[in-house]
Structure 1
């Protein structure tokens, strides 16, 4: 590689949007624990600051973990069966094989020095414990920092109890309240809400009393502090006293900390206008955040005009009910989990739960439809990225449809509408999970069931689970014939052809694909492009590069110049055709174009294919050290998908030839050094290296 550059820290930790107050002792202790212990769990009541402390500790330790610090947010996950998928999403692992995803994840982590931050484990505690135990046994350099109300009960776990922030003892007259973290937190958050506010000699005793009244619980203090916009600190204290004493009336014991937080959230709710309360309750239905378009679609109506949503969202941000994230191209909003859960309870008791959840389902169903229509067009990448951002909300919509009586048909429609997303995102196993549930809930023959059958069958076949896939394709054929569904019949023929190809009958597979292609040419749509691509791969294996090139050209013609996802595969298809035809220069140019197209969204499956081919070209032109490095970089990407090139018929011959030729030319020792150097590259570094000019 050229030059020396500092390595960019890997991971997905969010930037801090507010100051971090206090907790020096806890941060230092957690850092010390993680230097020796492999699992540290931060425990404490809701709102005490476990998540914020975990993120600060993780950020402080980032440089110790060359393979990254990765935050797994679990509050949005309600099904423990999807826990491995949530982790795979964050780590960029794509489950394209039938191998259990836990095995793929364990293998990926085996030689990694990284820190996993598992946040909000309580509702998935058993599944988290099993998964953490499995990972720690598989990866000796792995560290896990978890947040949970209680211990995970995993061998080797070290606990760090997160207490409320220190508060001044009001019985000591000479105490300086501003020395205490609770008071400083109130002061900083109040100043953010009301510029110019400061804790001074006139108000510090009152602020200290507020903090003690709230038991030093950070979230409760923050919710109270933002009220300085409308109330003096004396008014805040008086209203809190009245409210908490009302709650504790009839009890001889003080309100426990958890009830204090609940009471503070409840108090914040009562101080909101009726419209703000409605907005809070309706927005609690979002999982993992939402944007303004989603808020207008889901939360408007019945007293909230669509044009009022923006102002109401802004009001809830001002009151710290919503947090604002502007790190992406679109601003997103989210609720801290205790606040969201409170909203969910209010929603359940309001009688409007079904209405809000149905609007949520309809909105995300429309997003899925828009993404499906955008395939091959100029908005293809933008719509795909939108689905990635909304994955948690899509899961919530599907869960609602497939658990709520009477909503099953909508679940079937949404699951099948996402068919290209399941493939492109590498979420094969999750796609099958939802399709299995949707098919079970919708046994009657229908076009939607026929589509679900061929889609589920295709995912199974692509994962080499042909025994499970073909029966579904056959059932699809029967349903389609009964309904006269020509589209489903064409897809059933196409997928049978793919299965036939995988079963070593290449001419038979080609014949079936040609039949399907004839049908799909009459019908057009995304299925035509898919059939062209699959037939191109088969003709490459048959040794018909000219036909592969022709099919690749047709794929490229169907793709808009800005349809980068479909375009990268069309370019790659052309590249392998040129490679097989002996045109290394043409193959090199095309595969580099594919790599450049892929770069913005780093599809690992596509990257692996492109870097793999560049290694072949390097070896063929005598650049053996470069070839070995590229093989190493590609190997890391392949392993993250659960598939190796040696198992792929269209890649295996060239892969074996490249590896053998490179190893023989360099010798085992030099080859291994270069290969390992390539495997240590980050994705961005691998792309940059692959795109470097190949010196003659």
Structure 2
């Protein structure tokens, strides 16, 4: 029996107590579609919800949740506009179509049976309630377990308040966590001092775990005496606040008071981080005269030992995180120190530097590491962009951040979120207070106008890949015109390049060729060499392939692949491999085409680049049909069809890009018949992306005999059309600098 999919985290320590609550939640999940677990911060809501989800994910309930049990952590989201994107990310849905996130979620969940755990929504309770209501109405197989400090107040919602642990469970939890921090004879959970401590902490799990962490240095009796003192010193919160809130605040405050001054200072400064962070970020953001660089690591280690900071492994390497309640307490102290704005700016400056470094290093052998680094930093990048956009006169910094992240938006499957931030950074209400610059005036290396132009061409690029040609043309024409006015030759070249890309995807190959040659010539004059430039060369090669000039296209791709071999670049290489494979298929070299596509599919899948992946899948289907396996070709076409629904218009709505699909469909249908062909396409549509990639990489079936190919090159329909145009078109040498004028500049 296949395992139920999902993204629930593994438990790192023993789950203690809560047997009755666990049974009740499990029972209610069999009765209602929306179940909300509410309680004070630190009472253990998240842990119990995850434990419940792990329990119902068992094999005997596979039919109920055949499409998985998924956790969406929302506590770091502050912008209501990102709520849908956060759910899209949690469900691992890749979508480049330009559709609103809510529409993407509806489409994804419409025919699925799954449990979605929403954790930490209280700062966005109204937009979250609206989204949940909408999804439950349109997705009959969806069930939601919400976790927060207050209910969503929706029709059909069943609310379960989570009380503190019973005395018995609290003592068991404290004794269990004591073994983790103070190995030796186990504490007696029935000991009077242990019971008294648990009662004084009101059975709140977070408070118990913070207290257990102190057993490295103190006995239970010493902790009790210090709690007496600290409770007296720290009166809990404002008048009218729940006693449990005051108790938790006191417990955290007591832990804070037991920290050394340097630890308290670092705790406060760490509160500016919105998600996982690494040591280098801590050293830059938090160090200062009161906290020297060389001491940061040791102080951070003490906070980890006291459970104030959690260390975790990630694809980007070791990262650190603070629990939300602990972070909020530190933020209050940072406010009390009147240092919040300065620390937020230091935080912003670090992530601006990180993004700049990542853009440069993207053109290297470290692309996979850079993608993982950007993934890990995303919550903090959001916080940094937000600070830029909410601060008068700093829109250009937000434009710099969003524009510099082009490699992440376009290369790592983040088109929708990228467009969200690009449009916000360019919005008139954000940038109206920006000072205008005269031509040649620059600041911070790039300048206000330079940052805006970069954000414009990146927005145009993202819109092209989403199939929104109107928005793309608007952004790119504005960029080109402003670049000409200010004398920014590089921004002008990028605008011309992306207009060439738009012509390519809309099927106007002669115009695509002219614009791409013009852009490449400008890049050469300016000394620009990076992944974007190599992509332009691959795109030019593709325009030549579609016009039948295979030799020139293969030569261009060979040059791209050689540069990629030298630099270690893989993303642009994958597109050159696709063009090379198309040329190989056209010449009847099926084995060569498959080998090239296999590498391209692998790279696209690694980077979650759905645009490149679906193009390669379509061509792989045609190669598979020509190898003598039309049934498998139909499966791959079905899998590609499912991917196109996330990308946007199938085959970009272009007859040119649709030609391989049509030829494959015609050949497969001739052999299989319409009914069998349709059944295999439906089988492919049901495959999740990872399974589709696995099928594409499986290779030709053993013993398959490809049909005999006619001698000479096969001429796909786009090439035949191109032959009729060649007597009217004059090709300039690749990268002719003169072409930056004329149509390219018009």
Q: Which residue of 2 aligns with 1:11?
A: 6
Instruction: Name the residue aligned to 2:556.
Output: 551
Change (3 A) 1:309 1:124: same
Higher mean alpha-carbon deviation, 83-92 vs 277-286, is at: 83-92
CA drift at 1:254: 10
**Per-residue CA distance 1:252-305 (angstroms, 9 max, x = gap):** 999710111111111111110011011111111111211222222222123212
1:380 and 1:271 mapped to 2: Cα distance? 43
Give the aligned partner of residue 3 of structure 1: none
Please, which of 688, 692, 695 is the counterpart of residue 698 of structure 2? 692
Deviations 1:45-75 (CA, angstroms, capped at 9, x unpaired) = 1111111111111222234333222221111
Q: Relative to 1, partners in 2 of residues 1:204 and 1:675: Cα closer, same or farther, differing over 3 Å?
A: farther
Distance of 2:187 and 2:496 partners within structure 1: 74
Greater mean alpha carbon deviation, residues 295-304 or residues 261-270: 295-304
Picking from 525, 528, 536, the partner of 2:529 is 525
Question: Following the alignment from structure 1 to structure 2, what is the Cα–Cα distance between the partners of residues 226 and 404?
Answer: 40
Aligned-residue offset at 1:239: 1.8
Correspondences of 1:365-514 after superposition (within 5 Å): 365-439=352-426, 440=428, 441-442=430-431, 443=434, 444-445=436-437, 446-501=449-504, 505-514=508-517
> Aligned in 2, Cα 1:118/1:660: closer, same or farther, shift over 3 Å?
farther
| Structural mapping, 1:594-633, within 5 Å | 594-633=600-639
Correspondence 1:637-648 to 2 at 5 A: 637-645=643-651, 647-648=653-654
Q: Is the 8 A contact 1:187 1:197 kept in 2?
A: no
CA 1:288–1:385: 2 relative to 1, 3 Å: same
- Alpha-carbon distance in 2 for matches of 1:425, 1:329: 15
C-alpha displacement at 1:186, in angstroms?
0.7
- CA drift of 1:339 comes to 0.7
C-alpha deviations, 1:181-205, integer Å up to 9, x for none? 100111111221111152228x711
- State the distance in 2 between where 1:578 and 1:307 align: 57
Distance between the aligned counterparts of 2:138 and 2:575, measured in 1? Answer: 35
**Farther off after superposition, 392-401 or 140-149:** 140-149
Q: 2:57 aligns with which of 53, 62, 69?
A: 62
Instruction: State the shift of 1:453 in Å.
Output: 2.0
Q: Are 1:134 and 2:134 matched, yes or no?
A: yes
The answer as to whether partners of 1:402 and 1:438 remain within 8 angstroms in 2 is: yes
State which of 268, 276, 287 in structure 2 corresponds to 1:300.
287
Gap change, CA 1:633 and 1:429, over 3 Å in 2: closer
Match of 2:726 in 1: none
Q: Which residue of 2 aligns with 1:173?
A: none
Structure-2 residue corresponding to 1:175: none
Q: What pairs with 1:110-259 in structure 2 (closer than 5 Å)?
A: 110-167=110-167, 180-200=168-188, 204-247=191-234, 256-259=243-246
Residue matched to 1:46 = 41
Query: 1:214, 1:260 within 8 Å by CA — same for their partners in 2?
Result: yes
1:263 paired with 2:250, answer yes
Distance 2:219 2:490 in 1: 67
Moved more, 96-105 or 664-673: 664-673
Aligned residue pairs: how many? Answer: 678
Query: What residue is the counterpart of 1:27 in the other structure?
Result: 22
Using a 3 Å threshold, how does the CA distance of structure 1 residues 150 and 663 change in structure 2: closer, same or farther?
A: farther
Return 182-191 or 510-519, whichever deviates more: 510-519
Query: 1:161–1:83: structure 2 CA closer, same or farther, 3 Å change rule?
Result: same
**Equivalent residue number for residue 571 of structure 2:** 565
Cα distance between partner residues in 2 of 1:252 and 1:393: 34
Deviation at 1:370, TM superposition (A): 1.4
Deviation at 1:377, TM superposition (A): 1.2
CA contact (8 A) 2:236 2:249 kept: no
* 8 Å CA contact 1:538, 1:650 repeated in 2: no
Gaps of at least 5 residues in structure 1 are 1-5, 168-179
CA distance in 2, matches of 1:658, 1:528: 32
Q: Distance in 1 between matches of 2:518 and 2:30?
A: 62
Partner of residue 170, structure 1:
none
Shift of 1:101: 2.5
**Distance change in 2, residues 1:583/1:319 (3 Å):** same
Output one character per residue of 1:53-110: Cα deviation in whole Å (capped at 9) or x when no partner: 1111122223433322222111111101011112222333334223222212211122
- 1:347 partnered with 2:334: yes
- Give the CA deviation at 1:545: 3.5
* Counterpart in the other structure of 2:77: 77
Partners of 1:84 and 1:410 in 2: how far apart?
25
User: Structure 1: how far apart are the matches of 2:70 and 2:655?
Assistant: 35
**Does structure 2 retain, via aligned residues, the 8 Å contact 1:447–1:483?**
no
Which one is further off, 267-276 or 147-156? Answer: 147-156
Aligned partners of 2:355 and 2:401 also within 8 Å: yes
Q: In 1, are the aligned partners of 2:473 and 2:499 still within 8 Å (CA)?
A: yes
Task: Measure how far apart 1:150 and its partner are.
Answer: 1.6
1:656 aligns with 2:659: no
Q: Secondary structure at the match of 2:186?
A: coil
Summarize the Cα distance change of 1:25–1:543 in structure 2 as closer, same or farther, 3 Å threshold.
Answer: farther
TM-score, scaled to structure 1: 0.92
Tell which deviates more after alignment, 245-254 or 629-638.
245-254
The CA distance in 2 between the partners of 1:118 and 1:224, in whole Å, is 28
Q: Is contact 2:463–2:469 with CA below 8 Å preserved after alignment? A: yes
Asked whether the equivalents of residues 70 and 115 of structure 1 are also in contact (C-alpha less than 8 Å), the reply is yes
Q: How far is 1:649 from its partner?
A: 4.7
- Residue 280 of structure 1 pairs with residue 267 of structure 2: yes
Q: Please tell me whether the aligned partners of residues 323 and 334 of structure 1 are also in contact (alpha carbons under 8 angstroms).
A: yes
Within 2, Cα distance between the matches of 1:58 and 1:336?
Answer: 21
Alignment match, 1:171? none
Paired with 1:584 and 1:235, the residues of 2 have a C-alpha distance of 77
Q: Retained in 2: the 8 A contact 1:84–1:101? A: yes
Residue 710 of structure 2: aligned partner: none
Counterpart CA distance in 1 for 2:141 and 2:680 is 23
Cα offset, 1:601, TM superposition = 4.4
Query: Counterpart of 1:516?
Result: 519
Q: Residues 406 and 231 from structure 1, CA distance in 2 versus in 1: closer, same or farther, beyond 3 angstroms?
A: farther
Distance 2:570 2:99 in 1: 29
Distance 1:292 1:97 in 2: 37
